[in-house]
Structure 1
Amino acid sequence: MSKGLPRVATFVAGRGTALAEPALRAVLRDAGLGASQPEWLAADHAADVVFETDDPAGMRARLASALAGQAMDVVAQPLAERRKRLLVADMDSTMIEQECIDELAEFAGIRAEISAVTARAMAGELDFEAALKARVARLAGVRVDQIRAILDRLTLTPGARALVATMRAHGAHAALVSGGFTQFTEHVAERIGFHESFANQLEIVDGALTGRVVEPVQGRAAKRATLESLRARLGLPGAATLAIGDGANDLDMLDAAGLGVAFHAKPKVAAAARARVDHADLTALLYAQGYRRDEIVAG
């Protein structure tokens, strides 16, 4: 009796750690894959294990249980079409290490207050659109030159440039899709190398924020719609898409992708997504597509 189509589990060491073969063997044994032979994509860092199962959800659960307490990530997916031709990525706390609305709030003297609301919204505890409008309303008066100062201090998530550069080098299209603001996404998209970006727009009058977001607000549904529109425009099947994000407003987008990955995500988001990366940097998404270390473009 067939065990289903071939699948692949890609194991990647967390940042600052090594993937030791004895530890990997122990995980495979505990997950019921003890006879599998790892294929190393990067020595001491990333390895593939090909297997068959008629219960992929159960296998993901067994792998997650076997990895508990270890600084190691695993992405399990069908082996076919693992190299994606469309990347759709969230920006804040995904491709960059900041939440831009929290950075804006610092200039209004209310960073702690706004950051607390941002955390709750990203965890799925608040309605995204309502929470966004309420936070932006408190930012009225922040000036455009202060936005420019924020751009200078944004830091890229490790592996961000390599992820986009490598996928682009192999013919993929890359789009930055954010519930944040065009005043930031356009800068970040150019800096990292995305083909295009989609985000909300802050209303600006006389060089300062009015406290309003230009309608319509780009939230959870809009992110999914953007992925689907890009896929249709490019003539791609669903399996050819990769989406990454960390917040509750990313969940529909992650669900619509061939491979949707919760990256260093809020607990509810990580639990809901079919794939997650908790320890490694963004190059884990390249290893998950079968790229070897010597194929990765520095960016």
Structure 2
Amino acid sequence: MQNRLLALPLVAGAAALALTGCATSSASGDASGDGTIAVVASTNVYGSIVQSIGGDHVSVTSILNDPSQDPHSFESSAKTQLAVSKADLLIENGGGYDDFMTTLADASTTKADTINVVKLSGLDKGGDAEFNEHVFYSYPTMVKLVADVSKRLSALDEGEKATFQDNADALTTKLERLESETADLQKTYAGEKVSYTEPVPGYLFDAIGLDNVTPEAFSEAIEEGDDVPPAALNDTLKLFTNKTVQLLAYNDQTSSPETEQVKKAADDADVPVVGVTETLPKGEDYVSWQQANIDAVQAALQK
């Protein structure tokens, strides 16, 4: 998937002037003006992780934070650009998922460091294979991110290094527990066939050893917002009418006539539908969100 979150209108006039006056990141980690480290994350998934590590010592702005929002349709504002221009640290998913972060950073000439989570993950090996950029469902990647965030926050506020490390250690323990749970599920469910409308939970499925059999032409078309080839749609529908798969993972934040057809086919065939999202549901942090995803997949596989 490339450039899915890039609807970025030009901001002119007063917004441009505001950016000119706020382009330099504070070296002391006080760009927020209240003594905290200002961090801007592309989504609240990463914002939650930073908040867990930084606590009261960080001010986090998550650009995409509405669970009802289609994350594929993002529009910037002067307020968003101003937050980026004043940030001490930026976090982007990368891999073409949130290119608007690069656009915002370039427009503001910020000097803040940027963590690109796809690059940090090491999962993209290049080549011709389609890369799944939803690395926020990869728990080993999130462990790497926690360590990197802790290191960078400590560099911005050395006096709180011990606090950041303690919080990072506690969060890492929780993430490793999620890894352990998926490893246990793999012992029972490895090889079970499943399907998804988009590869959002792909890394979670991989961790459990599940076999995604969705026609690539279907999920790729949905992901790119293109028309689904009729043959790919028919082959996908057969997964449910023939009860080939144990569950359907359905992206609750995007829909199309084709995904609705597939969801109906799953419902009609009594194949469990597991809703997945690309941003945190209201009231959840990263760990509780992913725990709920694991529990939902397990419950579906047990049916």
Greater strand share, structure number: 1
Q: TM-score, normalised by structure 2?
A: 0.32
User: What TM-score, normalized to structure 1?
Assistant: 0.32
Tell me which of the two structures has the higher relative contact order, counting C-alpha pairs closer than 8 angstroms and 6 or more residues apart.
1
Q: Which has the higher helix share?
A: 2
